[in-house]
Chain A
């Protein structure tokens, strides 16, 4: 039976794959793309809500990661974080250029992150700390969750969030801060116990 073979590079850690990509090892690059394509495309699609734009951005993200693999510094964070941050930033750029009207808060792909309707990748849910964070999102007030999502996924500033949600700037700022610190507290309390 011809199953895809589990080769040594299939199981190689991300950092080893990026090191290989940096010196032109295409095989490492293919394994890396296969490992993350669902997450990168899913993030871009969630932000852009347009399959064509999401594919363009997801491709750009991988091409950028591949061609900049030599500057990836594992001491500064995980490869997944690096790649997803590239994806998020490219998505926000594309959103601002091609769809200048403000995001309709009622139409936020990530506002229901906590609803359990659309789940992250299995590999993510296997990570205990990320599962805690996912659960913590459900536990914070909705207005704070929306403020954090607007900033984290859509790159919206406090001023823009204030306008979108029709609240004073100070309210938007404290929603962002309270939402984010509550998420951090929930995760670090679990870690400490």
Chain B
């Protein structure tokens, strides 16, 4: 026990702990709140106990979310921003701006998550989207091996076509580097780049030089050249 801490009121101590944990309701809650407002030792105790309950949440074991998690968050934020009651652009304008924003975010995602984008991006340096440009179409395909789903590949059309791959279960300890390749309509293969997996988990994105409708599939290749997983787009 620390010597210099003022002692909270003994008959309020239970309620202080429950208030800090956020599990107090109704009259009990308003009573203790009113007390804390005029009792310094209890206010001090409440702030210390609240800090412990906050820190307890940080001790929760971490876990890898399913493949594509971060992309879905971005998509939802953008979808929400087009319907937000504030801002008030007309529907048409709003839709166009949304498609521009989605493409911009895809490019941002690609830039954040992976290098190797620069070469492929050179042909996509942007002109402004034409008025009424259609909303990008996003396609998703499972990355599988022997019928087991190991992750997902998403591709999106639009001003800056992009591909985003998430792997959430490509077993193997430690970290390893895999290459991502796409197969095109004519049967040719194009190398997109490499990215790292850590404990079987990783994600990576890249702007595409080729139009999305020319893609037939994507594969992940290990450092020994073996195909680790594939997706049909």
A38 touches B194 (CB 8 A): no
B17 and chain A: residue at smallest CB distance: A177
Q: How large is the interface on B (under 10, 10 to 19, 20 to 34, 35 or more residues)?
A: 35 or more
The prevalent SS among residues of B at the interface is helix
A185 and chain B: residue at smallest CB distance: B1
B112 touches A31 (CB 8 A): yes
B63 touches A42 (CB 8 A): yes
A85 touches B57 (CB 8 A): yes
A184-B1 Cα distance, complex, nearest whole Å: 10
Q: How large is the interface on A (under 10, 10 to 19, 20 to 34, 35 or more residues)?
A: 35 or more
B56 located at the interface, meaning its Cβ lies under 8 Å from any Cβ of chain A in the complex: yes
B143 located at the interface, meaning its Cβ lies under 8 Å from any Cβ of chain A in the complex: no
A96 located at the interface, meaning its Cβ lies under 8 Å from any Cβ of chain B in the complex: no
B48 and chain A: residue at smallest CB distance: A184
B60 and chain A: residue at smallest CB distance: A43
| Residues of chain A with a CB closer than 8 A to B70's CB | 30, 33-34, 37
A55-B68 Cα distance, complex, nearest whole Å: 11
- Taking CB atoms and an 8 Å cut-off, the chain B residues in 12-37 that contact chain A are 13-14, 16-18, 20-25
| Residues of chain B with a CB closer than 8 A to A129's CB | 55
| Residues of chain A with a CB closer than 8 A to B14's CB | 158, 173-174, 176-177
A152 located at the interface, meaning its Cβ lies under 8 Å from any Cβ of chain B in the complex: yes
B109 located at the interface, meaning its Cβ lies under 8 Å from any Cβ of chain A in the complex: yes
- Taking CB atoms and an 8 Å cut-off, the chain A residues in 42-97 that contact chain B are 42-43, 45-46, 51, 55, 58-59, 62-63, 66-67, 77, 80-81, 84-85, 87-89
